[in-house]
Chain A
Amino acid sequence: MVELVLDGTLYTEEVIFRVCYWFTNRCYVFVERRGPQEILVRLSRRDGAVALPVIAGEFANELVNQRVRDGVARETRHVRELLVAQAFAEATLNQSSNASPPEG
């Protein structure tokens, strides 16, 4: 069993849970709120050969990655919605796609 105490000012619940999700195949994951800015994640080995300290290290790195993902997603959400809307709006005007592969 390995315990990680996470700072709620650095990682939102959403970020934490998205990371936890990816470890549910290798570990049993227990999540507990300790305080207004503190979340505890417990990982216990489920099966497989990977040692818990390694898993904990991967978890910590994924938290960082996920936080970056979250930041980028939030920052670009509006643009993303815009471009998808524009893509489908113009689809009706341009049914015959001009972009066809060089070979059939």
Chain B
Amino acid sequence: MEFHEPAYYKPQWVGYRLLPFRLMDFDGKKLVVNEVGQHLLIDQEVLDQLVAHRLAPQHPVYEDLKAQHFLTDSDSAVPIQLLATKYRTKKSFLADFTGLHIFVVTLRCDHSCHYCQVSRVSTDRSKYDMSQATAERALDLTFRSPARHLKIEFQGGEPLLNFDLLRFVVEGASDRAARDSREVQFVVATNLAFLTDEILAFLRDNSVLISTSLDGPAPVHNANRPRPGNDSYEITISGIQRAREALGHDRVAAIMTTTRRSLENPEAIVDEYVTQGFDRIFLRPISPYGFALRTRHKTGYELDAFLTFYKRALGHIIELNRGGTFLVEDYAAILLTKILTPFPTGYVDLQSPAGAGIGVAVYSYDGDVYVSDEARMLAEMGDRSFRLGNVHENTYEQLFGGQQLRSLVADSVIESLPGCADCAVQTYCGCDPLENYVTQGSTLGHRPTSQFHYRNFEIIKHLLRLYHGPDESVRDVFWSWVTNRPVSQFTPAML
């Protein structure tokens, strides 16, 4: 029995080949990111040696670069095979094609939210309601999607104002799902002003999740979301309570929209979410569409002000987590999933190719089909460029396989966009061709002046800085968000 020295197992070193990666300056170092998002921070000289093929195998960073697939020094096909598998995992959301189907069941609403991207139509005009015939066709199209898990989201106006149609869709979808052995999840985005016991019972019995707007404490919320009586906050809070009692605590979620008024109050908004018993908060920027553009003087704000707000809110949320309160910031969680894990995310607004039309489809009350909610807003303002067709006039193939959608997808592949194609954080970011179109005039957009770019670039860098900072507990908090469980559950209970 003969044992060999380590050198026997190290093939003669004849150099290495580079594997694909991108780079940029980052706080005095170089950030290098490979094709699937694994990243390292290295010194300038290391990068120089690396690309000049002069990095020695004994160098302390060499083995890290090799193990993380930035270079390979053997003939083995294994690194490529592993990279291909990881790449496929990251893009696996494509196999499901359209997973999120939004049904706009009515345009009627009782609120006049400043940032609303929908016609403000008062509550008694039923010609703005979706008909059963339209719903039936939309369901047919929904179930043509190959997605294993479908999600149907009800929007409006205020969807509960057309509860009969909502019920019709839920029942129709459940029947189809049972027949096809597929899963479908339901969500209704509602302002909770029209809850009845009958409605709540139906939502409970059909496992419909509720998503409602909570913009912050009463002053912020009511100022953003006017309605007759100016009591949107009170209605929301009592609605949340009532809905939780009927459906269960975790069946009610809240989303937040940032406006100028929100900007001064990051901690108060976060605290409001904790007070109301939520364990998730989504710090979304205001989108530059629809009425938001028209009422820009009320809701407009500089991007830098939003970023300051975001960082303050995020810092406060991290502190709360460190103190034992489990509260996830959803936007960070999505980005961190891309940065820290091999897994994809289902978030359609940060995907390449962009999710518009392929990850999400919107069926408006009149049967028009749009690639996204934003596309529908544009149509409300007179621009129907992103309308795919109508459920009564077009087939599935025409709508989802037609030239219009294909060219939109072609324009939203980050790997080939000007400015993005060799960006270091490409794998963490995404595309929004509609935001480009609305703010910059073309779906391709102009990166240096793009809000979408600036916002995401800054947040990504901020998260990277926090993760690589001196504070171990911040990393733990980030991992708790990515794995969706509190830090206290990292360690098993002692037996």
Could you tell me which A residues sit within 8 Å of B by CB distance? 18, 21-26, 61, 65-66, 68-73, 75-77, 79-80, 82-84, 86-88, 90-91, 94-95, 97, 99-104
The answer to whether residues A76 and B449 also contact, given A87-B88, A95-B95 and a CB cut-off of 8 A, is no
B342 x A87 contact (CB < 8 A): no
The answer to whether residues A68 and B47 also contact, given A83-B80, A101-B343 and a CB cut-off of 8 A, is yes
The docked-state distance in angstroms from the alpha carbon of A83 to that of B18 is: 13
The answer to whether residues A73 and B422 also contact, given A23-B448, A65-B24, A80-B20 and a CB cut-off of 8 A, is yes
479-495 of chain B: CB within 8 A of chain A? 483-485
A91 x B88 contact (CB < 8 A): yes
A101 x B51 contact (CB < 8 A): no
The docked-state distance in angstroms from the alpha carbon of A97 to that of B94 is: 12
A88 x B418 contact (CB < 8 A): no
The answer to whether residues A79 and B20 also contact, given A25-B448, A72-B51 and a CB cut-off of 8 A, is yes
- Among candidates A25, A71, A99, residue contacting B343 with C-beta atoms closer than 8 Å: A99
The prevalent SS among residues of A at the interface is helix
Rounded to whole Å, the gap between the CB of B46 and the closest CB of chain A is 12
The docked-state distance in angstroms from the alpha carbon of A76 to that of B24 is: 17
Contact with A along B329-358 (1 / 0, CB 8 A): 000000001000111000000000000000
Contact with A along B356-399 (1 / 0, CB 8 A): 00000000000000000000000000000000000000000000
- Among candidates B18, B23, B419, residue contacting A76 with C-beta atoms closer than 8 Å: B18
Q: Which residues of A contact B85 (CB under 8 A)?
A: 87, 90, 99
Instruction: Specify the chain B residue showing the minimal Cβ separation from A71.
Output: B51
B23 x A86 contact (CB < 8 A): no
- Among candidates B18, B87, B337, B342, residue contacting A72 with C-beta atoms closer than 8 Å: B18
Q: Which residues of B contact A71 (CB under 8 A)?
A: 51
Contact with A along B89-121 (1 / 0, CB 8 A): 101100100000000000000000000000000
B88 x A88 contact (CB < 8 A): yes
B84 x A90 contact (CB < 8 A): yes
Rounded to whole Å, the gap between the CB of A60 and the closest CB of chain B is 13
Say whether B218 faces chain A, with CB atoms less than 8 Å apart.
no
The docked-state distance in angstroms from the alpha carbon of A102 to that of B337 is: 12
Q: List 16 A-B contacts (CB under 8 A).
A: A21-B418, A22-B447, A24-B449, A25-B449, A66-B422, A69-B23, A72-B18, A72-B20, A72-B22, A83-B20, A88-B88, A90-B84, A95-B95, A99-B342, A99-B343, A104-B484
Rounded to whole Å, the gap between the CB of B33 and the closest CB of chain A is 11
A79 x B80 contact (CB < 8 A): yes
The answer to whether residues A84 and B447 also contact, given A18-B422, A99-B343 and a CB cut-off of 8 A, is no
The answer to whether residues A97 and B24 also contact, given A83-B35, A83-B87, A102-B483 and a CB cut-off of 8 A, is no
Q: Which residues of B contact A103 (CB under 8 A)?
A: 483-485
The docked-state distance in angstroms from the alpha carbon of A99 to that of B85 is: 9
A68 x B88 contact (CB < 8 A): no
Instruction: Specify the chain B residue showing the minimal Cβ separation from A96.
Output: B148
Q: Which residues of B contact A84 (CB under 8 A)?
A: 84, 87
Given contacts A76-B19, A91-B95, 8 further A-B contacts (CB under 8 A): A18-B422, A66-B422, A68-B23, A83-B20, A83-B83, A94-B88, A97-B89, A101-B341
Q: Which residues of A contact B35 (CB under 8 A)?
A: 80, 83
Q: Which residues of B contact A66 (CB under 8 A)?
A: 422
Q: Which residues of B contact A77 (CB under 8 A)?
A: 20
B23 x A21 contact (CB < 8 A): no
The answer to whether residues A79 and B19 also contact, given A21-B448, A99-B343 and a CB cut-off of 8 A, is yes
The docked-state distance in angstroms from the alpha carbon of A22 to that of B457 is: 14
Rounded to whole Å, the gap between the CB of B15 and the closest CB of chain A is 13
The docked-state distance in angstroms from the alpha carbon of A76 to that of B70 is: 10
The answer to whether residues A76 and B20 also contact, given A87-B87, A101-B343 and a CB cut-off of 8 A, is yes
- Among candidates A72, A80, A100, residue contacting B23 with C-beta atoms closer than 8 Å: A72
Rounded to whole Å, the gap between the CB of B241 and the closest CB of chain A is 27
A99 x B89 contact (CB < 8 A): yes
The docked-state distance in angstroms from the alpha carbon of A21 to that of B419 is: 7
Rounded to whole Å, the gap between the CB of A58 and the closest CB of chain B is 10
- Among candidates A24, A70, A75, residue contacting B448 with C-beta atoms closer than 8 Å: A24
Say whether B25 faces chain A, with CB atoms less than 8 Å apart.
yes
Q: Which residues of B contact A25 (CB under 8 A)?
A: 446, 448-449
B22 x A86 contact (CB < 8 A): no
Q: Which residues of A contact B284 (CB under 8 A)?
A: none
A79 x B17 contact (CB < 8 A): yes
49-104 of chain B: CB within 8 A of chain A? 51, 80-81, 83-85, 87-89, 91-92, 95
The docked-state distance in angstroms from the alpha carbon of A99 to that of B343 is: 8
The docked-state distance in angstroms from the alpha carbon of A18 to that of B484 is: 40
The docked-state distance in angstroms from the alpha carbon of A26 to that of B21 is: 28
Rounded to whole Å, the gap between the CB of B303 and the closest CB of chain A is 12
